[in-house]
Chains A and B, each alone.
Chain A
């Protein structure tokens, strides 16, 4: 099923190649200009004395990827579903709903990873990240986990919510948490203690913490990483059940 979905994504890219290419070139440059160029003059250093440019680099890449993963999921699980197109007919193929969710998610993650890798290569030339090849691969490993988690959040929302207004507001709220409340661009220590505690318990924050520890302290915290992998796996199964319920199949 993954191969069929990949071919379809390629065709969709091919059918709208020029506008998509322009957007995907403008997108990372816009994020870099609007986030990094301003924030580096405000924060300058992380609390661990790492230059903000370097510290924020994985976060900016993650945020770009989280925005890339949204359209394919929105398209298939929300827009085309509520308009009675594609998804129900795809569900007639001989695959379980769990495999279906897993395949859609994998293809969306792969698409986000391809754009992310391109973006990270572009950024390495714009920012002095000081990242070695090893660290870049480490970053990509964490990005896969981030996208798996964020993709599952978007799939749940897309299947659960019927109203476009509620869906869009819920999406904006999710992005507020991703950008401001997960420790990707701003350390959670800046928040009041009680709020910091609550935010630090979110899976995205745990993963952000594990990523920063691995990339800047060379400390791989499996105690943070393994539960996230389990959450992603269980969430995918849960989304498969939700899809089955939604399609009444």
Chain B
């Protein structure tokens, strides 16, 4: 497939600290790519570099084969960017904020109005379009920022927490829109909502310390953990003595506790019975067995033991 975005040894430093360390990867045209990772992993920084918000300290970024540093003015037209923080002009209405951005990109008034009406209907923003940005909630502002980023019809859409501050209904509508845009536009986003990432992606990049430690579709990323199961047993009373005793069961991986709940991983379902045997006779309140998800993959302790 044709590459839409290509990074070659891209690095970013802040004073002596490495924020991004020589990243090299490509993103296919029309794909939906999620970037996840811990705080300070470099997720937002990579988005800012891709959007042209900041320049890399070394390396090159290419959009549709054009170097973003050398062909700055051309590549900027290709990108729509939704920053994490709300950055609308507080004394303009939402519609005026969006139209202003369209005019900056020399989109004619009729086209701006058509796109504004189209996207506002999809994100249910029509009732707020004539409100000043300073007088609406952050979630509504975020929806307006998404429309603003689409008003010049960019090929690449870059979004930092696209559903940040939104209520459940707005989150659903936003993801519906993103899914519709996928294929036509390359979409790269950062989100801390792992359940949303699990639902909406073609590829997930897991960042850690400015590097990509995992890259692929969730199913592929979970392949190495396919034998693992996640177990949870709630005891009436989980004493320290019992917890330590259960931790010593040799087939138990990465055990931890939350109150009276004993949480652990195991390669086979039979591990569950090993623990039940070890805890025989003690009153239990609840049992739970789950397939592994993205959250477990990002659990550094488990990833350290089981994935790398």
Residues of A near any B CB (own CB < 8 A): 1, 3-4, 7-8, 11-12, 15-16, 80, 84-86, 88-90, 92-96, 248-249
Residues of chain B in range 52-75 having any CB-CB distance to chain A below 8 Å? 52-55, 72-74
B87/A248 in contact, CB under 8 A: no
A96/B73 in contact, CB under 8 A: yes
Q: Taking each of A1, A4, A15, which has the highest tally of chain B beta carbons within 10 Å of its own beta carbon?
A: A4
Q: How far is the CB of B135 from chain A (nearest CB, A)?
A: 11
Contacts A1-B104, A85-B88, A85-B89 aside, 13 further interface pairs with beta carbons under 8 A come to A3-B103, A4-B104, A11-B93, A84-B87, A85-B86, A85-B87, A86-B87, A92-B51, A93-B76, A93-B104, A94-B72, A95-B104, A96-B73
Residues of B near any A CB (own CB < 8 A): 51-55, 72-74, 76-77, 79, 81, 83, 85-93, 96, 99-101, 103-105, 132
Q: How far is the CB of A98 from chain B (nearest CB, A)?
A: 12
Give complex CA distance A249, B103 in Å.
21
CB pairs A–B below 8 angstroms (29 shown): A1-B104, A3-B103, A4-B100, A4-B103, A7-B100, A7-B103, A8-B92, A11-B92, A12-B91, A15-B91, A15-B93, A80-B89, A85-B86, A85-B88, A85-B89, A86-B87, A86-B89, A88-B53, A88-B87, A89-B83, A89-B87, A90-B104, A92-B53, A92-B79, A94-B73, A94-B77, A95-B73, A95-B104, A249-B53
Q: How far is the CB of B47 from chain A (nearest CB, A)?
A: 12
A15/B100 in contact, CB under 8 A: no
Q: Which residues on the A side are within 8 Å of B105 (C-beta)?
A: 93-94
Give complex CA distance A248, B81 in Å.
17
Answer whether A15 and B132 are a contact pair too, CB < 8 Å, given A89-B81, A92-B76. Answer: yes
9 closest cross-chain pairs (CB), A and B? A4-B103, A93-B104, A94-B73, A94-B76, A4-B104, A85-B87, A11-B96, A8-B100, A248-B54
Q: How far is the CB of B29 from chain A (nearest CB, A)?
A: 21
Give complex CA distance A146, B74 in Å.
35
Answer whether A248 and B91 are a contact pair too, CB < 8 Å, given A93-B105, A94-B77. Answer: no
Give complex CA distance A85, B2 in Å.
35
Q: Whose C-beta in chain A lies nearest to the C-beta of B107?
A: A4
Q: Which residues on the B side are within 8 Å of A88 (C-beta)?
A: 53, 83, 87
Q: How far is the CB of A198 from chain B (nearest CB, A)?
A: 41
Give complex CA distance A90, B100 in Å.
9
- Other-chain contact of B92, A3, A15, A84, A93 (Cβ < 8 Å): A15
Give complex CA distance A29, B93 in Å.
32
Q: How far is the CB of A13 from chain B (nearest CB, A)?
A: 10
Q: Which residues on the B side are within 8 Å of A3 (C-beta)?
A: 103
Q: How far is the CB of B105 from chain A (nearest CB, A)?
A: 6
Give complex CA distance A7, B76 in Å.
22
Q: Whose C-beta in chain A lies nearest to the C-beta of B133?
A: A85
Q: How far is the CB of A216 from chain B (nearest CB, A)?
A: 42
Q: How far is the CB of A134 from chain B (nearest CB, A)?
A: 37
Give complex CA distance A95, B73 in Å.
6
Q: Which residues on the B side are within 8 Å of A84 (C-beta)?
A: 85, 87
Q: Whose C-beta in chain B lies nearest to the C-beta of A12?
A: B91
Q: Whose C-beta in chain B lies nearest to the C-beta of A10?
A: B96
Q: Whose C-beta in chain B lies nearest to the C-beta of A1?
A: B104
Q: Which residues on the B side are within 8 Å of A93 (C-beta)?
A: 76, 101, 104-105
Q: Which residues on the B side are within 8 Å of A96 (C-beta)?
A: 73
Q: Which residues on the A side are within 8 Å of B104 (C-beta)?
A: 1, 4, 90, 93, 95
B52/A92 in contact, CB under 8 A: yes
Q: Which residues on the A side are within 8 Å of B76 (C-beta)?
A: 92-94
Q: Which residues on the A side are within 8 Å of B96 (C-beta)?
A: 8, 11, 15
Q: Which residues on the A side are within 8 Å of B90 (C-beta)?
A: 85
Q: Whose C-beta in chain B lies nearest to the C-beta of A244?
A: B55
Give complex CA distance A80, B91 in Å.
11
Give complex CA distance A4, B101 in Å.
8
Q: Which residues on the A side are within 8 Å of B91 (C-beta)?
A: 12, 15-16
Q: Whose C-beta in chain A lies nearest to the C-beta of B132?
A: A15
Q: Which residues on the B side are within 8 Å of A1 (C-beta)?
A: 104
Q: Which residues on the A side are within 8 Å of B79 (C-beta)?
A: 92
Q: Which residues on the A side are within 8 Å of B72 (C-beta)?
A: 94
Give complex CA distance A80, B51 in Å.
20
Give complex CA distance A248, B12 in Å.
12
Q: How far is the CB of B275 from chain A (nearest CB, A)?
A: 50
Q: Which residues on the A side are within 8 Å of B74 (C-beta)?
A: 94
Answer whether A249 and B92 are a contact pair too, CB < 8 Å, given A93-B76, A93-B104. Answer: no
Q: Taking each of A16, A80, A89, which has the highest tally of chain B beta carbons within 10 Å of its own beta carbon?
A: A89
Give complex CA distance A85, B145 in Å.
12
Q: How far is the CB of B12 from chain A (nearest CB, A)?
A: 10
Give complex CA distance A122, B52 in Å.
48
Q: Whose C-beta in chain A lies nearest to the C-beta of B87?
A: A85
Q: How far is the CB of A104 from chain B (nearest CB, A)?
A: 12
Answer whether A249 and B52 are a contact pair too, CB < 8 Å, given A8-B92, A11-B92, A86-B89. Answer: yes
Q: How far is the CB of B129 from chain A (nearest CB, A)?
A: 13
